[in-house]
A and B are shown apart, each in its own frame.
Chain A
Amino acid sequence: MKVLFVVPPLTGHILPTLAVAEALSARGHAVAWLGHATKLRGLLPEGSTILPLGEGDPAHAEFVASRARSARGMAALKLFWEEFVAPLALASFDETEALVRAHAPDVMVVDHQAMAGALVARKLGIPFATSATTSASVGDTLEAFPKVAEWQREQVQAVAVQLGVDGGDTPDVSDSRVLVFSTPELAGTGGYPPQTLFVGPSLTTRRVAVPFPWEWLEAGRRKVLVSLGTLNAERGQRFYDAVVEGLGGLDAQVVLVAPASMVPETPENILRRDYVPQLALLSHVDAVVTHAGHNTTVEALSHGLPLVVSPITDDQPVVAAQVTAAGAGVRVPFGRISANKLRDAVVAVLDEPAYRQAAARIATSFAEAGGPAQAAEAVLALASR
């Protein structure tokens, strides 16, 4: 069977497709990706089949996405839809349709933010599943703001109408299957459509080997990983200052992912690195301080690690709220972080066992979820209907 993944040019949305694709390949099915080739080539395994969208301005979509990130709250939501999701769908629809027609997949897996893929699948009558890489995009996060939820629905419907696709109330979401890469133990159950399947995280070891001075880690000392993700470093100066001041001298070793220019000097218990082999490192640490990006959060929780969450924008406040509601971590502010607040939060998750126990419960739910194999089965089931 031919399975086609349609993804936006966003790393966090592409990575979870890898393990699902691997599960499909292992069952003898042919997988391909449709998206921005320059972005995809850096992330997919060698020899992957890529149906490339035009690269008129390869960095443009990512630029727009990052500009949306410079706003926060509702302003970020508005920018993200008006300047990223909708224009990307309009600009890539014709090309997507031509590529899908030529490839003729039996079934598609369409990222929730690659709307053109969903609309093309509807137009051509190809069964498709929606991939919600972050649980926040399909849950009831806008429940308290019905006018905003309505605005968002109107944005989606306006795109569908403009492209001449009839897709009902939610043309961007599959009527048959929505894959959420989390579990109710973390993401709750509120607001998810009935066709939702919680498959748990889809983790992949990145194929790029990142060097790390493992000998720096001392046996018998507790360890904390601090990372704001790949996209937020330039906004992190105050945060990094708080790490150096607040966690310096702490009775723990701290691995801080940050650019050298922003953290010129560190105390003896803090190691600064530009990049780290994150998944491998998680097996060695006792707690993680993160911006609450969905992928980092589920990676850490799958290791049963308690978290200090400092959400910046996008879905991060929602993910952070999921973590604190589940009891698996402590939230600290990002913009107004202080050394004291950060130290208190880190000490709390290290010293108070309740956080670790809650994280372990989530880790168990992740391990018991069907994972990429279940996602693969659910996708195949759509094609054989």
Chain B
Amino acid sequence: MSREQTLRTLAGFIAEVLDDELDDDLDIDEDTSFSDDLELESIEFVALAELVQSHYGDHVDFVGWISNLELDAIIGLSVGDVVDFIERSVEAG
């Protein structure tokens, strides 16, 4: 699976969590910040984590991964960081 595919899959889940269509307004790339650009709230993070995990399987333990993040790490989290995490977990799994 290519990194680009992972990004598109993740972007689709983000749109789903945000009740949004993927349109010009929601242009997600690796630099997109969850806090500043997407304004994702903590409960939306959890919903996103559950979607990602059920799609890829439990070896992509997104729920466990975010539960170990410090506050500043969550504030600074970008879409690319999550793509990294998914790619890493898929390879390891």
Contact = CB atoms under 8 A, between A and B. Distances in A.
B40 interface: yes
B1 interface: no
A318 interface: yes
Given A336-B18, A341-B19, A74 B39 contact: no
Interface residues of A, number: 25
A338 to B, nearest CB: 8
A273 interface: no
B43 to A, nearest CB: 5
B74 to A, nearest CB: 5
Interface in A136-179: 141-142, 144-148, 151
A147 B26 CA distance: 29
A53 interface: no
Contact of B35 (A73, A145, A321, A335): A73
Contacts of B75: 73-75, 78
Contact of A144 (B20, B26, B39, B67): B67
B29 to A, nearest CB: 17
A331 interface: yes
B19 A333 contact: yes
A41 interface: no
Contact of B70 (A151, A317, A333): A151
B44 interface: yes
Interface string B24-39: 0110000000111001
Nearest to B17: A333
B56 to A, nearest CB: 18
Nearest to B15: A336
A333 B41 CA distance: 11
A220 B45 CA distance: 43
B92 interface: no
A298 to B, nearest CB: 19
Contact of A74 (B20, B46, B63, B74): B74
B69 interface: yes
Contacts of A142: 42
A332 interface: yes
Contacts of A75: 35-36, 75
B14 to A, nearest CB: 11
A333 to B, nearest CB: 5
6 contacts: A75-B35, A78-B72, A141-B42, A144-B63, A148-B42, A341-B19
